[in-house]
Amino acid sequence: MKLSDIADNAGSRKKRMRVGRGIGSGKGKTSGRGGKGQTARSGVRIKGFEGGQMPLHRRLPKRGFNNIFRLDFTEINLDRLQDAIDAKVIDTSGVINAESLVKARVIRRVKDGVRLLGRGEIKAKLNIEVHGASKTAIEAIEKAGGTVKILNPKPKKAEGEAA
C-alpha cells in the first residue's frame, strides 16, 4: 500500500448543490423553495397555522403547573447499596452519607439530596444519613440492625444569588 493509494470511502464526501444557476441544473429560479409568499422567505413561517381555524394547541385545555419549590433527589435503591458493599466499595463501619456515596461512585451527583428507596434487600448493618427514605427502605435497614438518619434537604439557591 502506498500513500497515493489512500482514498476516502465512496460517497463519504458530497459536493454542495449550487442553487439558482439555471433551469438545466434542476435547482434554478426558485432554488427548490417553491413559489412566492411567506414560505419562500427564510426564517418566517407560522408553525401550527391551520388556515385561520383555531389551531390544535389552542383548542386543547391547559393543564398542570411547574412547582418551583420541588426538590430533585438522587434516588438509590437498597440492592444498589448492597452491590457496592459486596464489591467492597463502601465501608460499612463508618457513617454512609451523600459525599461517601459520590466518592465511592455509587451515585454520580447529589442534586438536592439523596433519597433511599426500598427495592432489593440489605444484609449489612449500616448507619446511613440521607435526605429522604421510603418506609420499606427504613424497615429493611432497621431489620438488618442499622440506622437511618433523615437530614433536612439543602435549600435551593435563588436564581440571582451567587453560588
Can you tell me whether residue 7 is helix, strand or coil?
A: coil
- Number of Cβ within 10 Å of residue 153's Cβ equals 16
- The DSSP bridge partners found for residue 148 are 128
Domain residue ranges in the chain: 74-150
- Structure letter (DSSP) for residue 38: G
Q: What value does the CA radius of gyration of the chain take, rounded to a whole number of Å?
A: 30
Distance CA 92, CA 84 (A): 10
> 66-83 as b/e, with b when 16 or more CB fall inside 10 Å?
eeeeeeebbebbbebbbe
Please give the grid coordinates belonging to residue 54. Answer: 383555531
The larger pLDDT score, comparing residue 106 to residue 47, is at 106
CATH topology of domain 74-150: Ribosomal Protein L15; Chain: K; domain 2 (3.100.10)
- Mean pLDDT, rounded, for 24-36: 89
- Mean pLDDT, rounded, for 5-18: 91
User: Above 90 in pLDDT, residue 81?
Assistant: yes
- Mean pLDDT, rounded, for 51-78: 93
Going by pLDDT thresholds of 50, 70 and 90, the confidence category of residue 155 is low
User: Above 90 in pLDDT, residue 79?
Assistant: yes
Output the pLDDT for position 162. Answer: 56
